[in-house]
Chains A and B, each alone.
Chain A
Amino acid sequence: MNEHAMSSKLIPAALFAILVLLGLIPIFAVGSGTEFSADILIYAIMALGLYVQLSLLGLVNFGFSAFFGVGGYLGAIFIMNTTRDLFLSLGLTMLICGLMALLFGIVALRTRQTAFTMITLAFAQLLYVLSLADDRLTGGVNGLTGVPRPRLPIALREMGLTVDSDAGFYYLVLVLFLMTFAGVWILQRSRMGSVFAGIRENEERMTVLGFPVFSYKLTGFVISGVIGGYAGYLNALLLGFAGPGALFWTTSGEALLMVILGGTTSLAGPVIGAAVFIGISHYAVSYTDHWRLFVGIAFITIVMFAPQGIVSIAKSRFQAWRQLKTPDNSGLTK
């Protein structure tokens, strides 16, 4: 059997297996395991959102936490004051995050490269400082606590479904994660995705070719912001709490870290990166208080020597392993 046929059968099979595994987690997980998995998936969604801006468009946004944090606050505010309906509160959150991304994007996207990075950073910090200072809307340093889980529409509730339980909430996150993954995958392969790639490679050329580059960048920025927004929404619901910490610029840095760690060239990158980062931060903490030191070193090492990230390291290892296993006609290998 030639390699191509093997890999084209392998990948869908692997994907199916992963899907099944993901679906079974609440059944097998013990104690806080389900919640931990939900946590990873939420950050994977956020990383995917950043991926749209970073890898597809080449925009180095150091203030992505703005959407994540605002999404959390909006979710908390809507659910506690306006509507406990899931779809409505989620929809409103996405709408406002999209608007915010639109308005901010119009200003920020006029700057290039480093100035863009700095202005996105400043914007996120501004939101952080505002949310810290205000205590009526955002609850100041305490944040908004006691956020209840939203309610599913009646039709779903009658079927016995709920997001109040660990498992129920996990499935909600899983569904949104899969939709996000599929959506970004489709985006990458679509015509828009190709234009994005062109802009990333050489913006001047695309302008000369007659593409409305600014509109494309803005669209990508808004899509990215909306994804970050509902990731933040889910995060606030998972914790039952929305606070200014999610807005602090180091959260943006961590998001970047996840995407880079995993690998910027493939869709699996941000997901793996999120899983690895969250996993390490949960478990390393029990081994050493100084885990951040090792994360920093690992991060630097990857950027310096393996900029393609974990996924490509894994890919090349896998390829090398496969070559060893495939029988060699020359009879030189055993």
Chain B
Amino acid sequence: MGIFLEYTVNAVQTGLLLFIISSGLTLSFGLMRVINMAHGSFYMVGAFLGLQIALISGSFLLGLAGAAIGSALTGLLAEKVLFQRIYARGPFAQVLVSFGLIFVFDELVRILWGGEIRSMPRPTLLSDSFEFAGAHLEAYRLFLIAFGGVLSGLLLWSLVRTPFGMMVRAAVDDRESAELLGMDVRRLFSFVFLLGSGVAGMAGFVAIPLVNAFPGMGDEVLISALVVVVMGGLGSVLGSLVASMLIGLALTLGQIFVAGYAPVAMYLVLAIVLLVSPNGLLGKAE
């Protein structure tokens, strides 16, 4: 019983963290059909900026704030300087430009922080662990679940209940009509892009005590995020939540039964989902 609880906690934690990371990507695509390959780079930039601030200030919270603001600003910069100029050119150009950005960001981080692995200990308040119902639970992992859960909740709530959220949903559903109704979709998108990058940056930062930070850490995360976005249905936030949890479950099961091949589980689930529903779980036909 205890072991089962532990596995569940692990799966939920993986899934929620994955959702947080991919939510920005889902929204960018849903709104402007932009696939930003550099999304993993914002994850990395947030991690390193947050780490630097945390090291200087000695505060986890300041580091978290730094990560969020730093990566949000980076995203804003990238959007204003690059993406805005090529919206009209179609998805191909965006994919390529953002791909080039990966090279640039990876190298910049390497130049600024060196090529080595950086670590950060868990904040003292959260470094303990305890027994519960026969399961060994670590405070920091529970924190990640809470963090991920709160962010997801906020995101979904704002999409459903706030005027901002309704504008986003309207624009995702039918951009032309939304623009005809007077909505400035461009500005909306810039804001969403900024949010998405900031959230990815925060995810990068909170992951450091678990898995450390290093240049290129965004490359693998990007793949997982892309799989989530495609599996969930391009543009559907709820879809990517479901997809993230499914992947978290698949990875956990994979690690239990076929440890050496665990990453394959993710692609297998993707393949099955796409075969059954080519537009993803909750996506719409293009």
Contact = CB atoms under 8 A, between A and B. Distances in A.
A293 B108 contact: yes
Contacts of B93: 303, 307
A290 B111 contact: yes
A241 B6 CA distance: 43
Contacts of B223: 121-122, 125, 249
A297 B104 contact: yes
Given A256-B96, A293-B111, A304-B85, A122 B33 contact: no
A129 B91 contact: no
B79 to A, nearest CB: 14
Interface string A101-139: 000000100111111011101110110011001000000
A260 interface: yes
A256 B99 contact: yes
A205 interface: no
Given A113-B286, A119-B230, A130 B264 contact: yes
A80 interface: no
Given A250-B219, A296-B103, A304 B33 contact: no
Contacts, number: 108
B35 A129 contact: no
B230 A296 contact: no
B100 A300 contact: yes
B19 to A, nearest CB: 17
Of A118, A249, A290, chain B has the most CB atoms within 10 Å of the CB of: A118
Contact of B107 (A110, A118, A256, A293): A293
B101 interface: yes
Given A296-B100, A297-B104, A304 B267 contact: no
Interface residues of B, number: 44
Contacts of B35: 114, 117-118
Contact of A126 (B96, B110, B264): B264
A100 B264 CA distance: 18
Contacts of B91: 60, 113-114, 117
B264 A129 contact: yes
Interface in B77-121: 82, 85-86, 89, 91-93, 95-97, 99-104, 106-108, 110-111
A138 B82 CA distance: 41
Given A122-B227, A133-B264, A295 B85 contact: no
A303 B97 contact: yes
Given A114-B234, A250-B219, A307-B93, A292 B107 contact: yes
B275 interface: yes
A296 B105 CA distance: 9
Given A117-B35, A122-B226, A307-B89, A296 B95 contact: no
B263 interface: yes
A300 B101 contact: yes
A304 B111 contact: no
Contacts of B86: 303-304
B101 A115 contact: no
Contacts of A148: none
B96 A299 contact: yes
A62 interface: yes
Contacts of A250: 219
Given A111-B278, A118-B226, A300-B82, A293 B96 contact: no
Contacts of B102: 253, 296
Interface of B: 29, 33, 35, 82, 85-86, 89, 91-93, 95-97, 99-104, 106-108, 110-111, 219, 223, 226-227, 229-230, 234, 260-261, 263-264, 267, 270-271, 274-275, 278-280, 286
Given A125-B267, A296-B107, 8 more contacts: A111-B274, A114-B91, A115-B234, A117-B35, A118-B230, A122-B223, A126-B264, A290-B107
Closest 3 CB pairs of A and B: A296-B103, A293-B107, A126-B267
10 contacts: A118-B35, A122-B271, A126-B271, A256-B96, A257-B100, A290-B110, A292-B107, A299-B99, A300-B101, A303-B100
